[in-house]
Structure 1
């Protein structure tokens, strides 16, 4: 059995989230029980996409459902190529490229507003 690091994202529309992650960010569909739940996988990351009818969403207090600064972090080989590809797909970026000592990054949001960081390491 494959071991994954799992992250749960609460989403408004499970199918829209599945389409976003599989079409634009290289995830593969593992389970689809839309409209309640689906999970997608990329390498060792399992992203649990929980719709309003899922048990994961029902267990969340009302004041904890807003998307915040937490995000998944995906390493890419060429950030500029990814920016061009995402812009070509009509996806709005939430930030321009930001450079730091460890590399460069951009932020985009999934259809529910959850943040995704694409990061190109320095070097």
Structure 2
């Protein structure tokens, strides 16, 4: 068994697609209309185009809004992405206007930072200790 798709709930799929592709550098993999304005919309890492897909899932379910707000209020990231060089990625992303709630910080076996994805989520990036 392996992970095929994982999700982030987003307030606006078009805004999310723009953020996740133009700022984070993911590429669009699947875009299929589902109902009304909603789509099965996934992005992937350009380094692993056949790898795990990230579903930019609409926040339509009544439980998602209070869930997302509670996580943000407590400073808890919804998900985490690994990077090779967190300081370089932090500089690149801040240069693109990404707002961080936590700058690169040593945390034992990882160095981590947290940013706002503009779609109602905090996202963590990590660099594993001892790795480039």
TM range (shorter): 0.7 to 0.9
Q: Tell me which residue corresponds to 2:24.
A: 25
Contiguous gaps of at least 5 residues in structure 1: none
Of residues 76, 81, 99, the one that matches 2:83 is 76
Moved over 4 A (4+): 59-63
User: Where does 1:1-123 land on structure 2 (aligned, <5 Å)?
Assistant: 4-33=3-32, 35-37=37-39, 38-42=41-45, 43=48, 44-52=51-59, 57-58=60-61, 60=63, 63-64=66-67, 66=69, 68=71, 69-123=76-130
Distance in 1 (CA, whole Å) between partners of 2:18 and 2:119 is 12
- Please say if residues 67 and 114 of structure 1, whose CA atoms lie closer than 8 Å, have aligned partners that are also in contact: no
Alignment RMSD (CA, Å): 2.4
TM (normalized to structure 2)?
Answer: 0.73
Distance in 1 (CA, whole Å) between partners of 2:31 and 2:8 is 15
Contiguous gaps of at least 5 residues in structure 2: none
The CA deviation at 1:89 is: 0.6
TM (normalized to structure 1)?
Answer: 0.78
